[in-house]
Structure 1
């Protein structure tokens, strides 16, 4: 039967992300392993007798997602012939895998800060410990800050777009957005997902912690901008824990004749749009991990330590540890804006 043009594009786009030192390329063995994992998820492993049984995705480290096969494209063609949404499932899982591989590379290559970057911060704690120890503390603190910033950035490229495409919508950067700011009609707004005439805002949780005045005003303006642009604003909050900030945001959406889904109703709404196959994806790769993180998050900070031994960083949390093998500090500068081609990395555009 062959692949359609959109499926061919999905296959090609799934292979590469990024550029430079942190670029990620999925080779044939990685693509084959993802197909084997999806076949198990969808219960069609009997259609792939040549593939070995593989562990579930999160049981594998990113670099261990590999299963040799001479023709993974033929496997992909067979997979999409078995389920109408298998191409979207593959695209979303490939995007998740590339993001995890890229972050693995970031941890290995993120530069250690220099004294020129962080030295003045030492004045705030100078005298509390020796200058040598204080400089080391500042280096560690800044490195953790940097890798957390990178995690936030990479998640922004991944989390909302995956949900958007799973439900059949498209993430839209500000320069291509149909949602214009009511305070300045020449400027568009980045939108997590546009689906028909609805504009979705996805949030894991709305916390009571105060946002900056301007940032919170942006949040409250979103439903107004949608309504003035002819779109229905839709708020999706995956953890519906109540607090005054969430109440205020909900009122803003209701005042703009928007729709609101929180907690279990949010997941039910997403599932209703996604269909059976992509609902399975959301449950396995988005809802399940997020729910477990929320449920098992410690009330108090656990014990923590970090150490360096040659080219290896070891981080210990409680009685568990994470090993990071370092390579040359050759990380390129990072553009933190949502790429204009974000919609091209997944199906739906």
Structure 2
């Protein structure tokens, strides 16, 4: 028999908690316990609300450090004496004390689930086999010993694989954050009100809709050859939106200059839409999200990206150690400080 809904929560709130609790994929599954969700609320109380305002929140669920200083596993919230929390009561109080709490809660849960998942990815991403990489070594053969070239090929491919997974995860993450922050509704091809203007007028998926605006979200616009096959369909999106009675809007966090990018921007203008790229995209996102969600974006997203972007570039020494049970990176910057990142391997 399915578990009944807690009477203290509305159906919408119960559905939100269920949605925030789980992240399912083909190879990795993330499940947040009540203590984890209470910990997320603790961060929101600390950063966006008034510390101590949620009386139902146990002291053990109030973080002593900022969110990004806390390991993704949030071990301090998983101790047995802190695991039993009254989540419905905490959730209700948070909704009363923190403006736009439910949108902020869903966004921070999404960030947290993706960080937990990526920790699993780093732990389990297999090191590539040399047999499939050996042909690439012909371009470098003779510059070092065969053993050294083999190590370089495997490491380079492993870092590429991890970087590709990071790009995938952040693309999903930023799209969901943008939709939630702006109060948008995501639509698959089954529920979308946007119909194709050609052929049998099938419904086409849309990243999210806010009011009468249909958004196509991109982390970055690119001229990569892999986009050529779907570029024509992207050009049709503004026309399909206009024909369906919606204003097409492109939201691209990074714009790469090029002919196809300009063609896409022209298409949005031609069909009465709008295109926001780069800094304009972030500005539109913050201005369309309201005061509290704008604060959320600044604290949890933009501020952290800016810190990385503005990190000083200069001489750097890096040592990589690979063992059966771990990979360790030791990075020494121009200031002489050494950071060590140890990634356990399963």
TM-score by length of 1: 0.80
State how 1:149-298 maps to structure 2 within 5 Å. Answer: 149-174=164-189, 176-182=191-197, 184-185=199-200, 188-206=203-221, 212-238=227-253, 247-263=262-278, 265-296=280-311, 298=313
Partner of 2:72: 62
Partner of 1:5: 11
Q: 1:205 and 1:106 mapped to 2: Cα distance?
A: 23
1:218 to partner: Cα distance: 4.2
Tell whether the 8 Å contact from 1:32 to 1:69 is kept in structure 2 after alignment. no
Which has the bigger relative contact order, CA under 8 A and spacing at least 6?
Answer: 1
Q: How many residue pairs are counted as aligned between the two chains? A: 326
Tell whether the 8 Å contact from 2:207 to 2:216 is kept in structure 1 after alignment. yes
Tell whether the 8 Å contact from 1:206 to 1:245 is kept in structure 2 after alignment. no
Partner of 2:344: 325
Partner of 1:344: none
Residues 13 and 77 of structure 1: CA distance in aligned 2, closer, same or farther (over 3 Å) = same
Tell whether the 8 Å contact from 2:192 to 2:203 is kept in structure 1 after alignment. yes
1:25 to partner: Cα distance: 1.7
* Superposed CA offset, 1:110-149 (max 9, x none): 1112245434434444444333333322222222222122
* Superposed CA offset, 1:193-239 (max 9, x none): 22233111234554677774335444433323322333211122445
Q: 2:69 and 2:341 mapped to 1: Cα distance?
A: 15
Q: 2:63 and 2:176 mapped to 1: Cα distance?
A: 30
Q: 1:278 and 1:114 mapped to 2: Cα distance?
A: 45
Residues 212 and 99 of structure 1: CA distance in aligned 2, closer, same or farther (over 3 Å) = closer
Tell whether the 8 Å contact from 1:112 to 1:139 is kept in structure 2 after alignment. yes
Residues 209 and 132 of structure 1: CA distance in aligned 2, closer, same or farther (over 3 Å) = same
Q: Greater Rg, structure 1 or structure 2?
A: 2
Partner of 2:113: 98
Tell whether the 8 Å contact from 2:54 to 2:97 is kept in structure 1 after alignment. no
Tell whether the 8 Å contact from 1:163 to 1:282 is kept in structure 2 after alignment. no
TM-score by length of 2: 0.80
Residues 4 and 252 of structure 1: CA distance in aligned 2, closer, same or farther (over 3 Å) = same
**Structure 2 alignment gaps of length 5 or more:** 1-6, 334-338
Between stretches 237-246 and 85-94, larger displacement belongs to 237-246
Tell whether the 8 Å contact from 2:188 to 2:204 is kept in structure 1 after alignment. yes
CA RMSD, Structure 1 to Structure 2 (Å): 3.1
Task: Name the SS of the counterpart of 2:288 in structure 1.
Answer: helix
Q: 1:92 and 1:195 mapped to 2: Cα distance?
A: 17
Task: Name the SS of the counterpart of 1:253 in structure 2.
Answer: helix
Q: 1:226 and 1:179 mapped to 2: Cα distance?
A: 6
Task: Name the SS of the counterpart of 2:8 in structure 1.
Answer: coil
Residues 12 and 140 of structure 1: CA distance in aligned 2, closer, same or farther (over 3 Å) = same
Q: 1:146 and 1:175 mapped to 2: Cα distance?
A: 32
Partner of 2:321: 307
Residues 195 and 106 of structure 1: CA distance in aligned 2, closer, same or farther (over 3 Å) = same
Q: 1:185 and 1:115 mapped to 2: Cα distance?
A: 48
